[in-house]
Structure formats: structure tokens, C-alpha cells
Amino acid sequence: MSDSSTMIETRDLTKKYGELYAINKIDIKLERGDVFGFIGPNGAGKTTTMRILATLLNPTWGEAYVGGYSIYSKPKEIRRIIGYMPDFFGVYDNMKVIEYLEFFAAAYRIKGPARRKICDEVLELVDLGYKREAFVTSLSRGMTQRLGLARVLLHDPQVLLLDEPASGLDPRARIEIRGLLKELRKMGKTIMVSSHILPELADICNKIGIIERGELLVNDEVTEVMRRVRQQVVLRIAVADNGDAAAKLIEQITYVEKVEHEKVPGTFSDAGTFSDGQLRVTLTPGEHDYSDLARILVQEGHKLTRLTEEEINLETAFMALTKGITS
């Protein structure tokens, strides 16, 4: 690999067990600073891919490079620049948090005063400084996950491979892990993070890959994936009264393809005003300018209480792009 900005690259990466393909011809390319959300159900091939990149598993065939180093010829060099956090990792029951980190820092050949300094720094980064003297067994699942992240950050790796880091966590702990991943993104780390829970990765990643049964179905920028799903703009509109008349008025606008009147008696708009149901307005393909829509409604005497563009989230994208494949 000649491009020094490319941190992870796989070409036709394949792993077979007998006749079963764990992964089949996986092509991924991540640049420095990319955060890649690896999405798919359990057993789809996420862990297999990460273990190969971490040089813990050999592929059946195909190429893989991390930081420019081949998994075949330079595994030691790769291990120096990566931090790999598996879904489940063991901790030493009779160790305190600081002892646990110092043990691994010593394994990375970090010596003397620098060792304690680095351990304290990563503890503060993952917000576990106040637990430094606690025994590892006393930590909650969320704290244990953060300790695992602290461990893989000890040697300041360029690439992080995080396999289901939020697995089994309660909602608060999930939010904390997401916040930590955002901090790591700001630090310029190249991160591959897997999850089978889609919304977890929506606001963290700039690239996503959707894998199913070993096949990489989607591999692109998040913005491009959303663009592929959203071919038409859909608006949510609410008026205080006479929703039927508003619907008929909007139907006459040239750039409107379809109006659906969702009548829900006694509903309120986002502004807290009583609404005569909601209108779901689909614009014609390629049309994005609806700036005069509010003026038209108000001029005709309608009290407009809501006009928003319907968002496409990662979960919607997943369902649209894998329809008929994942079932």
C-alpha cells in the first residue's frame, strides 16, 4: 500500500470453515480519522473480520493491511499500532484498577514514571479516575467496558478495533460509551466499531458497512447511504383546523407528488397547539425546494403548527437497503 493515509484496507478478504463462508470477499478501505460503523446481526462476520485485522486469525484467502502493514508478513508491526477490544475480555479478579492497567502497560514495555502517568491519563479519559484503587471485580458492566477501552489506549494506538463495545450495557452506560467514542474520534483515531444495534452508531460514524451472512451489502459514507435511501423529500405538516382543505390545497402544488392526511383526533402539534391531524407530504423526485409552502398555507387562512422534514435514520436506511436480503 503506497497511500500512507490509508489505515485499513482489505481485498477479497475471505474466511471459510468447510463449506461455510464466515466472510466472503470483504473489501473495506478506511482513511486516517475515519470512524467505521460495522453493522450486522450476531454471526454475520463482524468479529471474524476484526480478528483477522488484529492478526489473531488467518483468512482463507484475500489481503488485509493495517497502517500499511500486511497481516501476513508484518503481524508484530500491526499489533504495535492497533488497540483491539473483543466483545468479551477477561479481567484479573484480584487486581485493583490501577494495577490492572499497569500490568498491561508493562506488557507494552512502558517503563518507570511514564507508566503511572499514562495509566492515570487513560483513566481520566474514560472517567474512571475515582475508581483507580477499586478492585476490578467491584466494577459494573459499563465500568468494565470503559476499563477495557482504557487498556487498549495505553500504547496510544492509531487504529482501534472495538467489537460490540456497548453490548449488554444499560442505557446510561451506552450513552457514556458513545461519548467516549466521540472523544476518540476528535483525537484522530481510526476506529472500526461493530454493533448489532443500529441507532448506537448513527451519530458517531462517517462511514458504515452493513454485513449479513458474511456478505458486505453496503460500504459507503453515511451521507451517501442516506442519499441513496432518501430519493424524495417527505414533509410532516400540521394545521390547527380544516386539515382536509389544507391537504387539497397542497395537492395542487406542482412539486408535490402525494399528500396523506393522518387524522388523529385530539392530537397536539410540536408547538403544543391542537392539530386537525397531520399531513405527510411527499415531494416529486429530485425536488428539494419547498420554501413557499408555509406562505401558501398561511395566505389561505390556515394556522400552521408544524412543518418539518422527515428524517432518515440509520435504522431506516438499514431496512431499506437490506430489504428481502436479511430476512
For residue 298, give every residue at least 6 positions away whose Cβ sits within 8 Å of its Cβ, in sequence order, or none. Answer: 304
Cell of 287: 425536488
CATH of domain 231-311: 3.30.70.100
CA distance 221 to 209: 9
Judging by DSSP bridges, how do beta strands 256-262 and 278-283 pair with one another?
A: antiparallel
Strands (E), the chain: 6-17, 20-31, 35-39, 61-66, 69-70, 82-85, 159-163, 190-195, 207-212, 215-221, 234-239, 256-262, 267-268, 274-275, 278-283, 304-309
Cα torsion through 20, 18, 58, 318, rounded to 10: 0
In our burial notation (b when 16+ CB lie closer than 10 A, e otherwise), range 269-282 reads: beeeeebbbbbebb
- What pLDDT score does 266 carry? 47
The yes-or-no verdict on residue 12 having pLDDT over 50 is yes
Q: What is the pLDDT of residues 277-311, one digit of tens each?
A: 689 999 998 888 899 999 999 999 999 999 998 87
Fold of the domain spanning 6-228:
Rossmann fold (3.40.50)
* DSSP output for 30-41: EETT-EEEEE--
What is the mean predicted confidence (pLDDT) over 39-68?
A: 94
- What pLDDT score does 285 carry? 86
CB-hemisphere CA count at 13 Å for 185? 18
Say if CB 49 and CB 205 are below 8 A apart: no
What is the mean predicted confidence (pLDDT) over 58-68?
A: 96
Say if CB 279 and CB 296 are below 8 A apart: no
- What pLDDT score does 103 carry? 94
Instruction: Specify the higher pLDDT residue, 264 or 20.
Output: 20
Average per-residue pLDDT in the chain? 87
Q: What is the pTM of this model?
A: 0.75
Say if CB 36 and CB 204 are below 8 A apart: no
Percent of the chain with pLDDT over 90: 59
Percent of the chain with pLDDT over 70: 87
CA distance 234 to 246: 16
- What pLDDT score does 172 carry? 84
In our burial notation (b when 16+ CB lie closer than 10 A, e otherwise), range 156-169 reads: ebbbbbbbbbbbeb
Nearest to 98 by CA among 157, 156, 139: 139
The yes-or-no verdict on residue 2 having pLDDT over 90 is no
Question: Where do the structural domains in the chain lie, given as residue ranges?
Answer: 6-228, 231-311
For residue 154, give every residue at least 6 positions away whose Cβ sits within 8 Å of its Cβ, in sequence order, or none. Answer: 101, 104, 105, 108, 110, 118, 119, 122
* Confidence category of residue 327, pLDDT binned at 50, 70, 90: very low
Which amino acid is located at 327 in the chain? S
